[in-house]
Amino acid sequence: MKRKRIFMLLAWFTLIGFSAIGLALIIFFQEQSLSALFLEPMHWGLQLLIGTVVGYISAILALKVIHLPWLQETNQFYTNLVQQFELSTTKIIFISLCAGVGEEILFRGAIQHWLGVVITAIIFVAIHGYINPADWRISIYGIFMTLVMILIGYMTVHLGLISSIAAHFMIDLVLLFKLSADKPPVISTEPPAQSPNGINETETPK
């Protein structure tokens, strides 16, 4: 129960704290208006539509990556991590919204202004723990997510910040729903069974 409460408090901090820090940096240290950042250069409705589609496609591709056979342990770790919080549909939507709004305002809205699209994307993914020189498996997923974040960064530049918020929200929404519903993969440590004649019984007859 305490862990769940901390998790929800972190979600609230991401929404309120990250947004406040990002907006303060934008207002006091950048020469751009908030309306231009959110509503330009593309109409907010089109930003929302494109961001949602890009986010959904990115999430589906991310699931395909993390379900690769050699990422089974990574998949198991994150499935167990998400499922221990027993997230309801309402909480999944809320957490996805908090991350989408708070993190995008801070990283794409504020930090990207100084560090650029690529560096901001790398830092963002690294902070989330997806780039780890000691674990090449999670780093493969991290490289994929870095490419996605670079795409979202350029969406902010050429479409507007609402597009990146929508994409981030959709990615988290799909991944959290899927990981919450999945059964953790079973990793077998036993050698394949052998029949009396020495043939591996798990092999498909040719």
- Residue 162 CA to residue 160 CA, distance in Å, equals 6
pLDDT tier at 73, thresholds 50, 70, 90? confident
| pLDDT, position 101 | 98
User: Over 90: is that where the pLDDT of 92 sits?
Assistant: yes
pLDDT value of residue 170: 99
Tokens of 138: 């999670």
Q: Residue 105 above 60 pLDDT?
A: yes
Residues 32-38, mean pLDDT to the nearest whole number: 90
Calculate mean pLDDT across residues 74-92: 90
Under 8 Å between Cβ of 103 and 14: yes
CA 173 to chain centre: 9
Greatest pairwise CA separation for the chain in angstroms: 77
pLDDT at 194 over 70: no
For residue 21, pLDDT beyond 90: yes
Give the mean pLDDT of 166-181.
96
Q: Where exactly are the structural domains of the chain? A: 2-181
Q: Could you give the CA distance from residue 167 to residue 160 in angstroms, rounded to a whole number?
A: 12
Q: Rounded distance, CA 38 to CA 148, Å?
A: 20
Residues 86 and 4 sit within 8 Å (Cβ to Cβ): yes
Residue 121 has pLDDT above 60, yes or no: yes
Q: What is the mean pLDDT of residues 110-126?
A: 98
Closest CA to 148 of 40, 76, 29, 60: 60
Q: Hey, CA dihedral for 104, 162, 167, 115, is it positive or negative?
A: negative
Kindly indicate the confidence band of residue 72, based on its pLDDT and cuts at 50, 70 and 90.
confident
Mean pLDDT score across all residues of the chain: 89
Scanning 84-135, the segments in alpha helix (DSSP H) are: 89-103, 112-115, 117-127
For residue 119 the two structure tokens come to 């560096």
Please, are residues 136 and 130 in contact by the beta-carbon 8 Å criterion? no
Tokens of 9: 């408090």
> What is residue 202's predicted lDDT score, i.e. its pLDDT?
43
- Looking at residues 54-79, what average pLDDT do you find? 92
Of 58, 82, 198, 28, nearest to 141 by C-alpha is 58
Residue located via tokens 């020189």? 133
Of 71 and 91, more confident: 91
Among 153, 156, 159, smallest CA distance to 41 is for 159
